[in-house]
Amino acid sequence: MYEFVDFTERGTQSTSLSIQTTFNGITLDEALTDDNGSFITLSVSGRSNMTNRMNTIEAPGLDGLIESSLTTLEAREIKIKYKITDRTNKGFRDRFNHLNSLLRVSKKELAFSDEEAIFYATLSSNEVPEETSNSVIGTLTFLCTDPYKYGPKQSKELVSDYEMITNSGLMPADPTFELEVLEPVTFALVQNHLNEFVMAGRPVDVKETPEAPETKVFHRAMDSLVGWTDTDVIAEGYLNGSMTHDDTGFIAEFAEPNFGEATWHGPAMKTSLSEEVQDFRAEMWLYFHTDQGGRTGRSEMYLLDATNNPIVRAFIEDKWRGLNQLGCQIEIANGVRTPYISFPPKLERFNGKLKVSRVGNQWTFTVQEFQDGRIVNEWVERLESDVAMQPAAQIQIAYQKWYDDVVERMEVYSMRLVRINDVENTTSTYIAQPEDVITFDHQSGDVLINGEPRMDLISFGAEFFQLIKGQNQIIVQPENAFNVWLHYRERFL
């Protein structure tokens, strides 16, 4: 096996701050520059390098080598020369520590301000010479195990179920299809003109009558207080302040605490379900930002019966002084509790959902953390309890903080409850209902419904295909059942 390099670019010099480096969405030149010091990208090399991996065979009596027709690309290496400075020794060390902390993530987008392209990269090394002053020049080396470069994200709404898409890149591209469901469906299929297809679920015979494993009872985007009323139900502390909303969800306006009562307090509101539900799954999508030590906060979801008795309370909170850490739990009827789930201490923001389900006397509590529309962490606790078996008739949201502490940033942007139906003896079922989103990610090979993996629905013979260079016909079935968006990045060498 031999290797050769087709082209090697010289380092691109950064004059007058003309090049800046962005990694994982953070521009290093901006994040690490202030009145006391700076980070400056000096040069970048490796962006145009291409190394072929060639398979050759040595044949006796034959001059040279036999070259295999299969040629693949080696991983790409990108080197960034930078200068970092600070006025003080402590500031210099802090600035370096901050730089290293920003780089400790794997296979994230790497981009430069002089080119509309990204690379998927992981830091291989940060080489720093002997530190003789508070100003040094170092080298960041990134390894791109995916050797391609990618153009800006292309997003297109498909206006029909048969549409022609043009891939203007120089290489095939990996598409992602998002299908917003308009009517109950037993399957979803996306196919190209080469008869390659991916399908979740299955079509049903005309003689079959499909049933729904679950029925949506309540779904709010939390963009309006209409339909929500005040409540006098609170499990801990006291009610205080008011609820409001911004463009993305419900937020709290806290009033002054009742001094002398060192406890939790905050606002709460409730609304009625369209029907009483025995077996259910309730979900609360929320954002929680653990900011600085000493801040506290709690986001709560309640289910109440028709006479305002609590059935279950699920909450996520930051209750530790001097430590940014989240924990969560459910409590059934102000008594029975699941084990407490403590997240690893971190300074990052939490974006995800709490889910509580009851089927018979079996309770399940699930916490899911999402990034880029998919689950990256999940915690599950289960218990059996005959306490509070009455039907759920109302759903409630509450925010709290401890006493006079500064509050964390908290926001709930969606709440949902479904009735879980008994379909054990049914041969055909719906896989999605209106407002659900089915995602076919052809890059990762995932099928998601509302961000949750559903590879169990993948059809036999399905194949995640690419958009070839040039014209691609895309076919979506069932007809008129979805609003469809296509996302992809053009790929280059």
pLDDT tens readout for residues 35-47: 999 999 999 999 9
What is the structure's pLDDT at 12? 44
Q: Is the dihedral of CA 333, 335, 336, 341 positive or negative?
A: positive
Q: Which two tokens stand for residue 228?
A: 């929500």
- Domain(s) of CATH 2.40.30.200: residues in the chain: 2-147
pLDDT at residue 345 above 80?
Answer: no
Q: For the structural domain made of 2-147, what CATH number should be given?
A: 2.40.30.200
Edge-first strand listing for the sheet containing 50-57 = 2-7, 50-57, 66-73
Q: How far apart are CA 38 and CA 42, in angstroms?
A: 12
Confidence class for position 15, pLDDT limits 50, 70, 90: very low
In contact, 438 and 179? CB cutoff 8 Å: yes
End-to-end CA distance of the chain: 22
What's the alpha-carbon Rg for the chain, to the nearest Å? 27
Q: For the structural domain made of 156-213+425-492, what CATH number should be given?
A: 2.60.120.860
Q: Which two tokens stand for residue 12?
A: 């691109």
Strand partners, 327: 317, 342
In contact, 398 and 302? CB cutoff 8 Å: yes
> Hey, which CATH number is domain 216-420, 3.30.365.10, 2.30.40.10, 2.60.120.200, 2.60.40.1180?
2.60.120.200
- Domain(s) of CATH 2.60.120.200: residues in the chain: 216-420
- Domain(s) of CATH 2.60.120.860: residues in the chain: 156-213+425-492
In contact, 157 and 485? CB cutoff 8 Å: yes
Task: Note the pLDDT tens digit of each residue in 394-453.
Answer: 999 999 999 888 888 899 999 999 999 988 777 789 999 999 999 999 999 999 999 899
In contact, 479 and 191? CB cutoff 8 Å: no
Determine the average pLDDT of the residues in 293-298. Answer: 79
Look at the pTM and tell me if it is higher than 0.95: no
| Torsion on CA atoms 224, 228, 231, 235, rounded to nearest 10 | -60
